Every structure is written in structure tokens, then in C-alpha cells.
């Protein structure tokens, strides 16, 4: 799946940037999953580029207890976590192809270093979020702006364990895209009650997350 020149560049990057071991939890199934095979190939080729990366593969049907543990309800599913599985909110549903491949590589490096790169101001605001927060980022492989939105949401998930951030490939999950009226990407949906389109700066993105907290509180 990866060209040899790309493998060399990624290996060099991993050699320079990876600090701690990273575990990639991958859920697949044999039926009704057009991109599971190609997703697995991508993950296997990436893991071969560093001994700090380990892929754990599970079958969505036969390993249902694992799927329930990780709250996985569709495939292909990828969760990037640390060796002890403490990080649970950095997730991909759909093949990380096209522009989203860069998000996958950068997320692996981020988890390995355990550093989001967010400003202290943003981190302080994120630390105040105490309620479970679900962020969905609808993308397509040809969208050049989508990785920025995905990376911001995944940075939030690294900093706050109450946040779960899902990249969702809209073409692979059309029913889900229809449910949330995805007409342009990236489209971000937070807790089902706040949404916006576009790749916003970290602080502006965070304001929508905080608004979702307020709306949830007001409706409770």
C-alpha cells in the first residue's frame, strides 16, 4: 500500500520522533466491510517501520467483548493508544487514506510523546470539561482541510480522557453522514447538539466543544 520512498521517509520520522511504545487497536470483519482489508495492510506496513508500534487485531463479530470494551460499533475501526491502553479517545472509523494518512502518522507520534502541542490556554480550558464528550469529524480522503480538524479533535482527546474524538469517513458510512446532514467536509458534530463545518483554529474549535457542554447542562 505504501511506496518504498514513503516508507523510508516515515521510518526516518519514526526513528527521530517516537519516544514510547504505541498500540494500535484494529477492528475488522470479513463481511460488509469494503475497506477492512486495505486498512489492515496500511496498519501492518506502518508497524513494520518501527518496533515501537504494535497492532492488535480483533474481529468485530467474534471478539464482541473487545468491541464492547472499546465502544466500537462499525468497521474498520482504529484506536491509537499507549502501551497501557490509557488513551481511549483517538479513533478512526474508515480507511485513513488520502489526506487522512497524515493524520494517522501524526497521531502515532503524538501518542508516543504524550504531547498534544496545544497552548497552555487551551489545555487549561480543556481540563475543566468533566462530562463525557463525543466529537465526530466527518471527512473524505480528498479533503485537504479535514486532517486539521481531525488532529485538533484528537489533541483534545489526548489532553482530556472525557473526550472521545472519532474520524468518520463519510463515503464509507453514508447512512451516518445522512443522519447528520453532512453536505460538506469537514463537518464536526459534538454531543449530537452542536455542529459546524470547516477546519477552525484550536481555540475556536474548543468554543464549540464548550458550547455543547452548556447546551447539555441546559437540557438536563
pLDDT at 90 over 80: yes
Q: What is the model's pLDDT at position 171?
A: 97
Is 90 exceeded by the pLDDT of residue 137?
Answer: yes
* CA 170 – CA 97 distance, rounded (Å): 12
Mean of per-residue pLDDT scores for the chain:
96
What is the structure's pLDDT at 217? Answer: 56
Single out the residue in 115, 149, 182 at which a domain terminates: 115
- Across residues 36-47, what is the average pLDDT? 97
Domain edge (last residue) among 72, 100, 115: 115
Percent of the chain at pLDDT exceeding 90: 95
User: Please, are residues 82 and 20 in contact by the beta-carbon 8 Å criterion?
Assistant: yes
Q: How far apart are CA 140 and CA 100, in angstroms?
A: 8
| Helix, strand, coil abundance in the chain, percent, nearest 5 | 40, 20, 35
Q: How far apart are CA 52 and CA 19, in angstroms?
A: 8
Same domain, 77 and 146: no
Same domain, 93 and 161: no
Q: pLDDT band for 1, please (50, 70, 90 cuts).
A: confident
Banded pLDDT at 218 (limits 50, 70, 90): low
CA angle centred on 186, ends 182 and 191, rounded to 5° = 70
pLDDT band at 214 (very low <50, low <70, confident <90, very high): confident
- Of the residues 56, 87, 115, which one is the last residue of a structural domain? 115
Q: Look at residue 219 and tell me whether its pLDDT is greater than 80.
A: no
Q: Is the pLDDT of residue 220 over 80?
A: no
Instruction: Let me know whether 29 and 62 are in one domain.
Output: yes
Residues 147 and 206 in one domain: yes
Tens digits of per-residue pLDDT, 159-180? 999 999 999 999 999 999 999 9
Structure confidence at residue 215 (pLDDT): 72
Cβ pair 82, 108 in contact under 8 A: no
Q: Is the pLDDT score of 62 beyond 90?
A: yes
Prior bond of 47 cis (ω within 30°):
no
Same domain, 105 and 8: yes
Cα separation, 122 vs 209, whole angstroms? 12
| Per-residue pLDDT, 216 | 64
Domain containing 108 equals: 1-115
Q: Give the Å distances, CA to CA, from 186 to 47, 74, 103, 146, 198.
A: 28, 20, 13, 5, 5
Name the strand (E) or helix (H) holding 66.
helix 64-69
Average pLDDT of 60-87?
A: 97
Burial class of residue 96 (count of CB atoms within 10 Å of its CB; 0-12, 13-18, 19+): buried
Give the span between the Cα atoms of 133 and 154, in whole angstroms. Answer: 12
pTM, two decimals, is 0.96
C-alpha cell at 157: 482527546
Whether residue 184 sits in one domain with residue 164:
yes
Amino acid at each position: 500500500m505504501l511506496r518504498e520512498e514513503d516508507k523510508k521517509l516515515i521510518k526516518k520520522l519514526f526513528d527521530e520522533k517516537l519516544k514510547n511504545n504505541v498500540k494500535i487497536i484494529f477492528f475488522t470483519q470479513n463481511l460488509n466491510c469494503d475497506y477492512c482489508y486495505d486498512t489492515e495492510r496500511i496498519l501492518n506496513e506502518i508497524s513494520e517501520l518501527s518496533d515501537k508500534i504494535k497492532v492488535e487485531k480483533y474481529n468485530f463479530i467474534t471478539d464482541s467483548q473487545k468491541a464492547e470494551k472499546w465502544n466500537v460499533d462499525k468497521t474498520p475501526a482504529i484506536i491509537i493508544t499507549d502501551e497501557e491502553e490509557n488513551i481511549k479517545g483517538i479513533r478512526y472509523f474508515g480507511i485513513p487514506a488520502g489526506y487522512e494518512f497524515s493524520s494517522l502518522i501524526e497521531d502515532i507520534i503524538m501518542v508516543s510523546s504524550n504531547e498534544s502541542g496545544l497552548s497552555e490556554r487551551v489545555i487549561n480550558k480543556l481540563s475543566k470539561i468533566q462530562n463525557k464528550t463525543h466529537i465526530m469529524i466527518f471527512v473524505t480522503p480528498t479533503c485537504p482541510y479535514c486532517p486539521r480538524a481531525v488532529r485538533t479533535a484528537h489533541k483534545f482527546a489526548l489532553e482530556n480522557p472525557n473526550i472521545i474524538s472519532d474520524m468518520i469517513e463519510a463515503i464509507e458510512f453514508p447512512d451516518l453522514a445522512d443522519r447528520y446532514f453532512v453536505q460538506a467536509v469537514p463537518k464536526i458534530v459534538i454531543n449530537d447538539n452542536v455542529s459546524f463545518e470547516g477546519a477552525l483554529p484550536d481555540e475556536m474549535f474548543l468554543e464549540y466543544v464548550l458550547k455543547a457542554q452548556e447546551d447539555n447542562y441546559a437540557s438536563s
